[in-house]
């Protein structure tokens, strides 16, 4: 299995098969427009501008599961990102990342990389405390990097800034 076996919905609620991104490095993240990490959109856009011509694609999946920090329609969220952070990557339809209603892509991502890692290290960090109990996404802006073959390379906590992922992305490109 790889991410290419899954699909997501665009803001028109049409299925988008991830196999359309074969051969690209993917940055997949769950986002929110009213979160302390929302300014990370700026850094993610900068990564996209710097590396898209080399094969980076960004997949922004808004999620309202954390204190309702992604209110509004899919169109309103996409408009917010474009107006406030000048995003040129696509914002997809709102999803759930945890629980029975989580989309299949995130269930797969969590199974494959159950704990957050530190950029620059190729081995999983050992989970501690509550992390031992669950691979659940802990908050908005959890980031996954997928290699050119559709394999999950890394999972990074919301506190990891987009610019800290540049070396990881460069390595995979």
Provide the annotated active-site residues: 35
Those residues with Cβ within 8 angstroms of residue 70's Cβ, 6 or more apart along the chain or in another chain: 31, 32, 33, 34, 35, 62, 63, 64, 77, 94, 140
Say how far apart CA 140 and CA 18 lie, in whole Å.
21
Instruction: Give the burial class of 12: count Cβ atoms within 10 A of its Cβ; 0-12 exposed, 13-18 middle, 19 or more buried.
Output: exposed
Say how far apart CA 91 and CA 96 lie, in whole Å.
15
């Amino acid at each position: 299995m790889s991410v290419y076996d899954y699909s997501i919905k665009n803001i028109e609620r049409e299925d988008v098969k991830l196999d359309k991104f074969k051969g690209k490095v993917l940055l997949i993240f769950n986002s929110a427009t009213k979160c302390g990490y929302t300014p990370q959109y700026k850094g993610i856009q900068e990564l996209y501008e710097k590396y898209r011509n080399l094969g980076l694609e960004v997949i922004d999946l808004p999620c309202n599961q954390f204190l309702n920090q992604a209110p509004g329609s899919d169109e309103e969220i996409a408009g917010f990102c474009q107006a406030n952070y000048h995003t040129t990557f696509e914002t997809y339809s709102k999803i759930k990342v945890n629980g029975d209603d989580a989309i299949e892509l995130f269930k797969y991502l969590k199974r494959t990389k159950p704990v957050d890692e530190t950029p620059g290290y190729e081995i999983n960090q050992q989970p501690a405390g509550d992390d031992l109990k669950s691979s659940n996404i802990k908050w908005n802006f959890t980031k996954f990097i997928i290699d050119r073959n559709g394999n999950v390379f890394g999972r990074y906590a919301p506190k990891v800034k987009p610019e800290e992922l540049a070396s990881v992305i460069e390595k995979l490109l």
